[in-house]
A and B are shown apart, each in its own frame.
Chain A
Amino acid sequence: ETGVTQSPTHLIKTRGQQVTLRCSSQSGHNTVSWYQQALGQGPQFIFQYYREEENGRGNFPPRFSGLQFPNYSSELNVNALELDDSALYLCASSRIGGSYNEQFFGPGTRLTVL
């Protein structure tokens, strides 16, 4: 069983640029959630995708957007990067069905905005 993978591992961008982060779901999962973890903080929920549509969103501006593909992989796009966007971005996959959907996390992408 393949776990959740994310690419790239590290990324350095400058303020104002755009970035795309990628996530491959664990085998058998159909839902992807994205979290932002700033240094010294707990992860903050960005949004969740199910059946290629946004299924819920946290308190993040519209310049944070995403996609989910038919194979359930996902992208997180951030436009007009700001210094505060520097963080570890975590992807988690799960399978909707039943009363509880455990989320399995990937290793994250470390984004640095200069």
Chain B
Amino acid sequence: AQSVTQLGSHVSVSEGALVLLRCNYSSSVPPYLFWYVQYPNQGLQLLLKYTTGATLVKGINGFEAEFKKSETSFHLTKPSAHMSDAAEYFCAVSDQVNTGFQKLVFGTGTRLLVSP
């Protein structure tokens, strides 16, 4: 069974500081990996994804993540935090299957707080 562990339910940074949100996964097959952001009272928006190929993936709003198979990690980073980045962030994993069925398994989320 697949699973995702997000270390730290809350992360606080100052505006302009580096953002690092940690995600470790467990999967018996090559995974697809995702980061989603959720603003209050809204649905999920895809930030970035890793499917195959380059292990460093760039997403929207200046975020990027690196797939490290040896560490089973997919940490999310942003060089300089902005006040508008304050939100809940979810890491998710899915099987690489071609049958059409895709189930996302989410972590418990990390709330990013950005102070002026």
Q: Could you list which residues of chain A lie within 8 angstroms of chain B, going by C-beta atoms?
A: 4, 31, 33, 35, 40-45, 48, 50, 55-56, 58, 90, 92, 94, 96-97, 99-108, 110
Contacts and interface: CB of A to CB of B under 8 A. Distances in A.
Nearest to B102: A101
A100 B51 contact: yes
A24 to B, nearest CB: 13
Given A90-B43, A105-B44, 16 more contacts: A33-B103, A41-B109, A42-B4, A42-B106, A43-B104, A44-B106, A48-B103, A56-B101, A56-B103, A96-B100, A99-B98, A101-B100, A105-B36, A106-B43, A107-B41, A107-B42
B108 A41 contact: yes
Interface in B36-85: 36, 41-46, 49, 51-52
Interface residues of B, number: 26
Interface of B: 4, 32, 36, 41-46, 49, 51-52, 90, 92, 96, 98, 100-109
B96 A99 contact: yes
B45 A103 contact: no
Contacts of B96: 99
A43 B103 contact: no
A42 B100 contact: no
B106 A100 contact: no
A100 B4 CA distance: 20
